[in-house]
């Protein structure tokens, strides 16, 4: 895994009539990584990906792919793109559409046929090779689109909301395939608003909201820097004095306390040991004291705000 970025976005801004979709966004996707572009709906994820693909042009800023010039169209042989708005020719047969889409990315029809058949088998669509797209379920069509994205063995795969609309089984198949691609050296950039997907998959993430970058970096680094310190504390027989300690504003910035059990977030630079010491001194019997790693979900909510989080919760219910 080399560290030179495959995608380098620098100070990119895109305005549409009336609003700014993306505001001076910079990010860089390291080669061979799985990179998540996260954010609530309307944050500018798709716009960013479309600019990376050269479908729309940024008003300001610069995007470099593979460290050089040329946009997604020119480099389409090296890139696979799965757009958010997915469509296929309804009347075409599955294998033929795959061959056509590979052909416009520079793969010969013969090679495309072999690989297409192989991929269809692999994703459980072996019986559907000669069926028309119209006869496929939505989930199957999505798989066909995914195959079209990776059929030409691209070095970079850009997936816009790849898990949207998939059932849990197919969602898992998709995750496994993405991991497999990355193991094979393919760089994967994908967008999602579902943090669980990102948490399990990504080596690095960038969270954006309302067109602006909130944070970015490697997963561990993000958790370390932005997660704050989370504590899970359980005590036997909590009382007023322990309550006071668990709510001490000089140490605890936020608490979710149930008397005997509490999830705490500490203020920056606070030492968890101070808290433990105070509890012991107050005579509390501590049965659990755990410095927890924050989830991406918590970081996301912390940074993007509760408003976005509620919007997101309803989204998840839909999906």
Partner 1 sequence: MRKIWAVMRREFIEKVRTKWFIIGTVLGPVLMLGMVALPILMADRTTNRVVGVLDATTEGFGDRFVGMLQQTGSVKPERIAVDVPDLEDRAVELARRVGPGFDGFIILTDAVTDDGHAEYRGRNVSSFSDMQTISVVLRNAVFSERLRREGVDPQIVGRARISVDLDTKKVQKGEVTEESGEASFFLAYAMWLMLYIAILLYGIQVMGSVVEEKTSRVVEVLVSSLKPFELLAGKIVGVGAVGILQMGIWAGFGKLMIDKRELLANMLGQGEAGQALAGIPLPEISFTTIVVFLTYFILGYFLYASMFAAVAAMVNSEQEARQAQTPVVMLLVVPTVLMIGILNNPDGAMAVTLSLIPFTSPIAMPVRWAAAPVGTDQLAGSIAILGTTLVGITWLAGRIYRVGILMYGKKPGVRELVRWLKG
Which positions lie near partner 1, rule CB under 8 A?
53-56, 72-73, 76, 79, 81-92, 100-101, 103-106, 145, 148
What minimum distance in Å lies between the beta carbon of 18 and partner 1? 13
Task: Give me the helices (H) in 227-282, please.
Answer: 240-246, 272-281
Q: Which is nearer to partner 1, 103 or 315 (CB)?
A: 103
Q: Which is nearer to partner 1, 79 or 308 (CB)?
A: 79
The two tokens of residue 238 are 């909590």
Q: Which is nearer to partner 1, 56 or 232 (CB)?
A: 56
CA torsion angle 142 144 145 148 (round to 10): 160
Whether the CB-CB separation of 27 and 211 falls below 8 Å is answered with no
What minimum distance in Å lies between the beta carbon of 45 and partner 1? 15
Nearest to 167 by CA among 202, 137, 204: 137
Q: Which is nearer to partner 1, 101 or 164 (CB)?
A: 101
Q: Using alpha carbons, list the distances in angstroms from residue 67 to 11, 63, 157.
A: 16, 9, 16
What minimum distance in Å lies between the beta carbon of 276 and partner 1? 55
CA neighbours closer than 13 Å in the CB half-sphere of residue 71: 13
Edge-first strand order for the sheet with 229-236 is 252-257, 261-266, 229-236, 285-292
Q: Which is nearer to partner 1, 36 or 72 (CB)?
A: 72
The two tokens of residue 77 are 């042989």
Q: Which is nearer to partner 1, 91 or 110 (CB)?
A: 91
What minimum distance in Å lies between the beta carbon of 313 and partner 1? 27
What minimum distance in Å lies between the beta carbon of 44 and partner 1? 16
What minimum distance in Å lies between the beta carbon of 103 and partner 1? 4
């Amino acid at each position: 895994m080399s560290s030179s970025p495959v995608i380098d976005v620098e100070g990119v801004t895109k305005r549409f009539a009336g609003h700014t979709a993306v505001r001076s966004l910079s990010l860089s996707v390291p080669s061979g990584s799985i990179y998540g572009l996260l954010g609530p709906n309307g944050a500018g994820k798709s716009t960013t990906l479309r600019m990376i693909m050269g479908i729309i042009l940024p008003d300001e800023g610069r995007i470099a792919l593979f460290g050089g010039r040329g946009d997604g169209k020119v480099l389409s042989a090296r890139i696979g793109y799965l757009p958010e708005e997915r469509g296929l020719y309804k009347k075409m047969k599955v294998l033929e559409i795959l061959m056509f889409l590979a052909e416009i990315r520079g793969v010969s029809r013969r090679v495309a046929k072999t690989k297409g058949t192989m991929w269809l088998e692999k994703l459980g669509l072996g019986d559907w090779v000669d069926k028309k797209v119209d006869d496929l379920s939505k989930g199957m069509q999505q798989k066909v689109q995914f195959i079209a994205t990776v059929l030409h063995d691209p070095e970079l795969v850009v997936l816009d909301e790849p898990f949207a609309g998939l059932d849990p089984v197919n969602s898992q198949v998709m995750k496994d395939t993405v991991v497999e691609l990355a193991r094979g050296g393919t760089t994967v950039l994908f967008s999602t608003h579902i943090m669980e997907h990102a948490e399990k998959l990504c080596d690095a993430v960038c969270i954006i909201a309302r067109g602006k970058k909130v944070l970015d970096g490697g997963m561990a680094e993000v958790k370390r820097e932005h997660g704050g310190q989370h504590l899970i504390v359980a005590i036997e027989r909590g009382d007023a004095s322990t309550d006071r300690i668990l709510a001490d504003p000089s140490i605890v910035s936020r608490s979710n306390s149930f008397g005997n059990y509490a999830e705490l977030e500490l203020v920056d630079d606070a030492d968890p040991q101070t808290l433990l010491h105070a509890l012991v001194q107050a005579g509390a019997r501590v049965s659990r004291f755990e410095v927890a790693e924050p989830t991406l979900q918590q970081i996301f909510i912390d940074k993007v705000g509760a408003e976005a989080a509620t919007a997101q919760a309803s989204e998840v219910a839909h999906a």
